[in-house]
């Protein structure tokens, strides 16, 4: 699926996750965040950077791993990205939805 | 007027057993709900209370008797040591999968906003006091309280 963000077109799946990380930019991340009513602060960006680093290292992500990352604890993660934090944060980061049950 | 879109908004999970496979099923379902933005609450009743009993939660076992999917004959499953053996095997496998142990999982659920309730009737029956329980539980409630908390559109009640 194609999706128009500003004057850029990105490829996304039916859940809105980007399918080509090379198309990602900070501006696109900001726009996806707005769709979830999140204004990204430097604290959000630290977590997004961490998620992208893990993705590049091909480390599977889970809530538990985020909690142990030293970047953010689980409570704060739920505050920063309310509702489904791992889903929302990975969507903003432009990486695939983690296939994790924990 | 209420229009049911079919959306799941809240999972109310009743855990009535403390065999590891049931405990993990309940915990994964509760945590999985929160990960999807669905509210989740767990009501611990009868033997399920052992899951939040401060001293007992570290010693939960899988059941080796009466579980055909274990592929251990019932007579063998009942031999001394079998349960401990099967439990340590299962714990090892779960560790490989990066599954937290029961205590850490309870903390994970709390941090994720899952509410944990102990059943008053079962507490009285087993003579447990609130001090015997995992400190972060949200309270000791009756079945009526539980139903009140379950009210509202999009709530599902699950008995394990």
The CATH code of the domain that includes B106 is 3.40.1260.10
**Which of A67, A75, A86 is facing B35, going by the closest CB pair?**
A86
Does the residue B1 lie in any domain? no
How far apart CA A9 and CA B142 sit, in angstroms, is 54
**Which of A65, A75, A87 is facing B35, going by the closest CB pair?**
A87
- B103 Cβ under 8 Å from any chain A Cβ: no
> Which helix (H) or strand (E) element contains residue B155?
strand B155-159
Number of H helices, E strands in chain B: 6, 5
Domain count, chain A: 1
Provide, as residue numbers in chain A, all residues whose Cβ is less than 8 Å from the Cβ of B112: 63, 74, 78
Averaged pLDDT for residues B146-153:
95
Structural domain harbouring B141: 10-147
Does the residue B114 lie in any domain? yes
Structural domain harbouring A71: 2-93
Domain count, chain B: 1
Of A54, A80, A52, A49, the closest CA to residue A65 belongs to: A54
Q: What is the pTM of this model?
A: 0.90
Residue B3 confidence (pLDDT) above 70: no
Does the residue A37 lie in any domain? yes
Compute and round to an integer the Cα radius of gyration of chain B.
17
Averaged pLDDT for residues B72-81:
83
Does the residue A98 lie in any domain? no
Does the residue A33 lie in any domain? yes
Residues present in chain B in total: 160
- Residues A50-79 have pLDDT tens digits of 999 999 999 889 999 999 999 999 999 999
Would you say the C-alpha torsion B2, B5, A84, A64 has a positive or negative sign? Answer: positive
Report the gap between the CA of B114 and the closest CA in chain A (Å): 11
């Amino acid at each position: 699926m194609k999706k128009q963000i500003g004057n850029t077109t990105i490829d996304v799946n039916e859940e809105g996750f980007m399918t080509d990380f090379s198309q990602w930019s900070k501006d696109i991340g900001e726009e996806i965040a707005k769709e979830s009513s999140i204004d990204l602060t430097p604290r959000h960006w630290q977590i997004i950077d961490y998620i992208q680093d893990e993705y590049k290292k091909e480390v599977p992500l889970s809530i538990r791993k985020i909690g142990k990352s030293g970047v953010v604890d689980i409570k704060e993660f739920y505050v920063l990205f309310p509702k489904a934090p791992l889903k929302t944060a990975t969507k903003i980061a432009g990486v695939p939805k983690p296939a994790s049950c924990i | 007027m209420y229009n049911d879109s079919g959306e799941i908004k809240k999972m109310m999970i009743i855990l009535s057993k403390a065999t590891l496979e049931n405990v993990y099923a309940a915990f994964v379902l509760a945590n999985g709900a929160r990960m999807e933005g669905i509210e989740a609450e767990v009501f611990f009743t009868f033997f399920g209370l052992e899951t939040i009993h401060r001293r007992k939660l570290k010693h939960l076992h899988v059941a080796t008797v009466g579980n055909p999917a274990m592929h251990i004959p019932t007579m063998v499953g009942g031999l001394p040591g079998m349960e401990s053996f099967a439990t340590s095997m299962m714990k090892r496998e779960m560790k490989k999968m990066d599954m937290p142990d029961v205590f850490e999982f309870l903390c994970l659920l709390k941090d994720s906003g899952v509410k944990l309730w102990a059943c008053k009737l079962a507490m009285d029956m087993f003579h447990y006091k609130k001090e015997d329980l995992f400190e972060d539980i949200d309270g000791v409630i009756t079945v009526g309280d539980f139903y009140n908390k379950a009210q509202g559109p999009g709530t599902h009640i699950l008995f394990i």
